[in-house]
Amino acid sequence: MSTAALSTGAPEPATDRTVVGENLSLPLFRTLSGVLAGHSYLKVVIDRAEATWHLLDTAAHPFHVNYIATRVLGMDLAELDAALDEFNASVYMDPERRFLLGVLSLHTDEDAEGRERTFLVLETTEADTMHGELLEYFHAFVRERVDGRLPLLLKPANHGQEEELAAISEQRVPRILSHELFGTRTRSPLNLGEATGRLRWFRTVEEYEAAAAGLGWSDIVAMPCLPDDVQRVAGFVNTAPITPLSHTNVLASGWGIPNAIVRDLEQLVEKDGLDGAWVRYRVREDEISLERLEQAPELRAPAWHQQRIRLEPPGLEDAPVLSLHRLRSADRDRYGTKAANLGELHHVLDSRTADLTAFYGRPRPPREDLYGHLASRLGLVTPSAAELRAAATSFVADTVEAPEGVALPFSLQQRFLTSSPALQQGIGKLKMALELDATDVLDSLCLQIQHLIRHTPIPDSVSREITRAFPDRLAEGGRLVVRSSSNAEDLPGFSAAGVYDSVTSVRGTGELPDAVRQVWASLLSPRSVRLRHQVGISLDDTYMGVIIQVYVPAALGGVLVTCNPTRREDFRNVYLNCSPGSPEQVVEGAVLPQQYLYNTVEGGGRTVALGSWSEGLPAGTRARLADLSLTGRLLQSHFSAPEVDEPLDIEWLLTDQGDFRLVQIRPYAL
């Protein structure tokens, strides 16, 4: 459901079955309704001035606002377009508004005795700011005009409405929360797309591992929860809940393959004999389907099978170990993408000279720009362009911090590798195997090299550079985090999410050498070598930098992406996952996180799922997450310039002292 209506000049259908003033029966509902996300729905408009309501023919009137303007108020679409934001404010935000806009959707569940129950859910659009009294009036008005045999529940559309309803008894306004309604859906999209391939159904990880060597680009892998090291195939199917920000879905997004949760897959497999069968797999926002094909289709290898990604030449000249705040984005060729982005983040926060408003300057037809919305979010009234930019940079600097730490350049890894004849010999054999495409020996060669890397002493000259450049004050308290920072990640067509190692439990500088070697070794893991080889990334051009940071205890941690992963056309919302503790719990899938959407245009947020928890976060914490989400959107203007619509993937934590810290920032693979 859109958060605010957009005008459209498309012609309306010749027939219009919109009804005014009549009571709503189930047959009438079905006559007028459309389908969204698998549920029948009907748009309604209550006219308080006329004490009546309009039941819109969904096919004729896809937008509430267009209907009100043209059919009730006698405006034309050009007039509406010229004042669309003001008009939206009058119907979504004015506490004395004339019109109440909503949607009725039809659902079924089981009662306490296992019998199927049909009920209606009433909700507003996501940007609507109805106060409690208006919500109560809204529900009562509709209740009086709907078939009394159908239960009617009000679903708050955002956190503000949830808080308003908290003061009203459920006897007066029966309700259902979004995560209660949709948290147990049988099928949920994760990454939209379509694939034709052979379905391979695995009940356990052991079954998958036994068959993994035989999987290829035309297979669709289905199992309860795919492992993070899943190889590149045609599509993913999960039967257990998972977040769109899991490593496997980030891979699906980067690879452009469909991915969904299909809880009834086992029944489909048994009913239609799908295991091992050729299927057409579609994942759309409103439909997920697996259609068995009667015969094997003629398939051509996907484009990525012939893809050849060329890296910029890495900088291997001796470079110093540097504090993160001394790096800029251009240093990615010497220190890796992650380190360079964190250095650039320090620059943005410290200098406050970046223009963080560019995303809001893009035309969003019929709007010329969204500067007015940004000014409102920042508490400004008709600011100049310079004032808006200054307010945006101050807001970001006041909301988040960049992590302290140091970055090890590629040249240190290169000096380490060349210090050992055994390592050089092993890497030479691996290069030859790759040139000959001898994939049957890749895994064993990679494992041998990794073992050597982990057990080869670091030359004294390299060790001294690491320990000398690492300030003693950063090591106080004992625990460090050592992260990978390669030049072979965050590339168009190759995200490498979850492919390289990070070590989050390093106890003091004494354990630092082992952790650094583990990160270096991850560049030559069997999986990373295979994935790079598939897209033509040469081993000669691939290097690993290392980030060393102080471990910061977190009260809350997670990931946000500055888009809605399952609705690519949605330019308003930021999607955020979090859980108590470190962000690693979210990205590693140790828990099912809480999931939220925050509107970075009109404001407000809503809960998508509570994950492994029974309760959501307190209202004050959710408000702070709204500020974090707006910060992510503003940073997108800088880090994805000039294509400011390219979303970011940001790992963050909320410290025990209540400060937000960004620990990783990179492009989100779409």
- The pLDDT tens digits for 368-401 are 999 999 999 999 999 999 999 999 999 999 999 9
Residues 531, 619 within the same domain:
no
Averaged pLDDT, 82-105 = 95
Residues 341, 219 within the same domain:
no
- Establish if 167 belongs to a structural domain: yes
Judge whether 211 and 200 are in contact, CB under 8 Å: yes
Which range of residues forms the domain containing residue 115? 19-176
Residue 1: what pLDDT? 35
Judge whether 84 and 7 are in contact, CB under 8 Å: yes
Averaged pLDDT, 231-246 = 91
Please say if the pLDDT value at position 47 is more than 80: yes
Last residue of a domain, one of 550, 565, 599: 550
Look-up: residue for tokens 């925050």? 598
Please say if the pLDDT value at position 3 is more than 50: no
Averaged pLDDT, 550-554 = 87
- Establish if 363 belongs to a structural domain: no
Among 74-78, 302-306, 493-497, the least confident range: 302-306
Judge whether 360 and 448 are in contact, CB under 8 Å: no
Averaged pLDDT, 119-130 = 94
Residues 76, 207 within the same domain:
no
Residues 199, 275 within the same domain:
yes
Last residue of a domain, one of 271, 289, 304: 304
- Establish if 10 belongs to a structural domain: no
E strand intervals along 488-572: 503-507, 544-550, 554-561
Residues 312, 298 within the same domain:
no
Residue 371 carries which side chain, given as an amino acid letter? Answer: Y
Averaged pLDDT, 606-635 = 93
Residues 481, 545 within the same domain:
yes
Q: Please report which confidence band the pLDDT of residue 243 belongs to, taking 50, 70 and 90 as the band edges.
A: confident
Q: Please report which confidence band the pLDDT of residue 117 belongs to, taking 50, 70 and 90 as the band edges.
A: confident
Residues 6+ apart with CB under 8 A from 18: 32, 54, 55, 56, 57, 60, 61, 67, 71
- The pLDDT tens digits for 249-298 are 888 988 889 999 999 999 999 999 999 999 999 999 888 999 999 998 98
Residues 240, 212 within the same domain:
yes
Please say if the pLDDT value at position 561 is more than 80: yes
- Establish if 6 belongs to a structural domain: no
Judge whether 387 and 307 are in contact, CB under 8 Å: no
Residue 152: what pLDDT? 97
Residue 320 carries which side chain, given as an amino acid letter? Answer: P
Total domains in the chain come to 4
Average pLDDT over the chain reads 90
**CATH code of 325's domain:** 3.30.1490.20
Averaged pLDDT, 36-56 = 92
Please say if the pLDDT value at position 231 is more than 90: no
Last residue of a domain, one of 550, 583, 605: 550
Please say if the pLDDT value at position 542 is more than 80: yes
Percent of the chain predicted with pLDDT > 70: 94
| Whole-angstrom distance, CA of residue 186 vs CA of residue 166 | 29
Report CA-CA distances (Å) from 153 to 2, 123, 173, 377: 20, 9, 8, 31
Which tops the pLDDT comparison, 530 or 494? 530
Residues 145, 208 within the same domain:
no
- Establish if 209 belongs to a structural domain: yes
Q: Please report which confidence band the pLDDT of residue 8 belongs to, taking 50, 70 and 90 as the band edges.
A: very low
Residues 263, 296 within the same domain:
yes
- Establish if 294 belongs to a structural domain: yes
Residues 169, 257 within the same domain:
no
Which tops the pLDDT comparison, 508 or 219? 219
- The pLDDT tens digits for 349-364 are 999 999 999 999 999 9
Please say if the pLDDT value at position 131 is more than 80: yes
**CATH code of 279's domain:** 3.50.30.10
Highest mean pLDDT among 19-33, 180-194, 608-622 belongs to 19-33
Residue 7: what pLDDT? 41
Among 141-145, 236-240, 481-485, 567-571, the least confident range: 567-571
- Establish if 9 belongs to a structural domain: no
Burial of 469 (0-12, 13-18, 19+ CB in 10 A): middle
Judge whether 557 and 578 are in contact, CB under 8 Å: yes
Query: Which residues pair with residue 456 across a beta bridge?
Result: none
Q: Please report which confidence band the pLDDT of residue 2 belongs to, taking 50, 70 and 90 as the band edges.
A: very low
Q: Please report which confidence band the pLDDT of residue 419 belongs to, taking 50, 70 and 90 as the band edges.
A: very high
**CATH code of 581's domain:** 3.30.470.20
Tokens for 222? 């289905």
Residues 282, 335 within the same domain:
no
* Dihedral angle of Cα 524, 530, 535, 539, to the nearest 10 degrees: 30
Residues 119, 211 within the same domain:
no
- Establish if 602 belongs to a structural domain: yes
Please say if the pLDDT value at position 582 is more than 90: no
Helices (H) and strands (E) in the chain, counts: 24, 26
